[in-house]
Structure 1
Amino acid sequence: MRIFLLSLLMLAFLPTRAQHRPARFPLWTFHERNVRIYGISVGAYSLNENANTTTNGIRVEAPGAGLLLSLMPRAPWDTAHGTTPETFPEDKFPQQANGINISALGGVCYRVNGISIGGLTQINWRVNGISVSAMINACEVMNGIQYGTFNVCETANGIQLGMGVRTERLRGIQIGFMNASKNTRGVQIGLWNENEKRKLPLINWNFRS
């Protein structure tokens, strides 16, 4: 038991020294900047691009900014409408969650490695795992499974599920009532499917340039 506790303390201490970010556990707020949280982090919303806060465990937004996110005219990284996405260093993120990211109404997180659940609407820049929302699920890069009534994605590597599914670059499968992709290497299954090669009901595909 002593060896386990000592190993846990060393794990928390080493990355803190390397990046000069103090560790907080077992319960803390992700509104504090430049920290690593081990356990549960809580906050009202997350729209701070300078937070540089990492949660290892469970990150909870209560209530979250879900209603406001639903009113956004376009995704923050939508370059087609003149928006230039900001690039962050690999060791510095506005908000990162390794584990479970959850919000009652829906929220914002830069990177999620694990499971992200947004009650109404969520916007994530990177998801490696599973993301689920009741209404709108938007992600710049999704590696895994994305589910929502309406899914919007810049790059989807995996499976997208929903009523309306749209992505700029698909590497995988879309399943929904209406599916759309502009750069496709995969399969679309739904009532209506559009990609750069053709428009078809029920099933569509493309595996070549």
Structure 2
Amino acid sequence: MKTKILLIIGLFIGSIINAQDSLNTQLNKPRLIGFSPSKKTKNVNGMLIKYYDEVDNEIRPKKVNGVGLGFNGLGIFFPALLLVSIPSINNWAINDIASEPLPEKMNKINGMQLSIINMEPTVTNGLEINVSSNISAPSVTNGVALSPLYNFHHTTKGVAVSTFANVAQKCRGAQVGLFNVCQDSRGIQIGFWNKNEKRSFPLINWNFKAKKS
């Protein structure tokens, strides 16, 4: 009798484990079209559609090989607020957005990110186009970042181009915009006013030497 009970318990536990493995397999299976937020979306080989952004401690990291589309409606309001609060040239400095450390949980997009605004920590390998990028999200772009208003990044490796401002903690490449700010730069800045860890300068600024430890 005890043997039968133990056998039943063993079969029950085994069925739970198999069900969990099957669920994990389904979650990890790449989707052609995925939606976020969604517990069912983790890997996408095609297109990810985000209808709003998750906060840092609730983010479920997603890997996208293809295109990430963001339709967060807050992106309509944030650029206007930033536009009226741009500080004076002399006080323009690395702000909280760019100086925050990179979080452990980050989305990864291999391809293209197209958003009104991105508020999730994201690594983009390829092309990033946002109306106003990465508000409240310390993000990384390896490639090209384009915005008609602002680019805010933790790290850019490549080229960041915007109309008003490019702000980053770490830059490897070029920043092109009205205001360009980077505190750890290797490359060139082109704009009305440019600031790096070495100097502040109009029109063209540069730094190609590593920081002394």
CA distance in 2, matches of 1:43, 1:203: 37
Q: How many residues get paired?
A: 167
Shift in Å at residue 38 of structure 1? 0.8
1:76 aligns with 2:97: yes
Matches within 5 A, 1:62-141: 62-70=71-79, 71=81, 74-78=95-99, 85=101, 87-88=103-104, 93-103=105-115, 105-109=116-120, 110-119=122-131, 121-123=132-134, 125-141=139-155
| Structure 1 counterpart of 2:161, from 135, 139, 147 | 147
Higher relative contact order (CA 8 A, sep 6+): 2
Q: Which of the numbers 51, 61, 64 marks the counterpart of 1:44?
A: 51
The answer on whether the counterparts of 1:64 and 1:107 sit within 8 Å (CA) in structure 2 is: no
What is aligned with 2:92? none
Query: Does the CA contact (< 8 Å) of 1:69 and 1:122 recur in 2?
Result: no
Instruction: Please give the residue correspondences for 1:12-51 in structure 2 after superposition, counting only pairs within 5 Å.
Output: 22-33=28-39, 35-49=42-56, 50-51=59-60
Q: CA deviation at 1:26?
A: 1.2
Q: 1:167-200: CA deviations, max 9, x gaps?
A: 11110010111101114xxxxxxxxxxx1xxx55
Deviation at 1:107? Answer: 1.8
RMSD over equivalenced CA pairs, Å: 2.6
- Give the greater-gyration-radius structure (CA): 2
Deviation string, structure 1 residues 116-140 (Cα, Å, up to 9, x no partner): 0002x10151110000111111010
**Superposed CA offset, 1:18-74 (max 9, x none):** xx9512321111322461111011012323332111111000002454245434784
Task: Give the number of the structure whose residues are more often helix, by fraction.
Answer: 2
**Residue aligning to 2:192:** 177
Identity of matched residues, %: 24
Residue 148 of structure 1: how far off its partner (Å): 0.9
Q: Deviations over 1:135-179 (max 9, x none)?
A: 111010100000112110101100110011111111001011110
Give the CA deviation at 1:86.
5.0
Distance 1:204 1:152, change over 3 A: closer
Aligned-partner Cα distance in 2 for 1:201–1:59: 35
In structure 2, stretches of 5+ residues that fail to align are 1-23, 86-94
**1:24–1:32: structure 2 CA closer, same or farther, 3 Å change rule?**
farther
The letter for the 1-side match of 2:153 is: C
Counterpart for residue 180 of structure 2: 165
Q: Secondary structure at the match of 1:172?
A: strand
**Residue equivalent to 1:81:** none
State how far apart, in whole Å, the 1-side matches of 2:205 and 2:130 are: 30
Determine if contact 1:39/1:56 at 8 Å carries over to the other structure.
yes
8 Å CA contact retained: 2:157, 2:171: yes
- Structure 2 length as normaliser, TM-score? 0.68
8 A contact 2:188–2:206 mirrored in 1: no
More strand per residue: 1
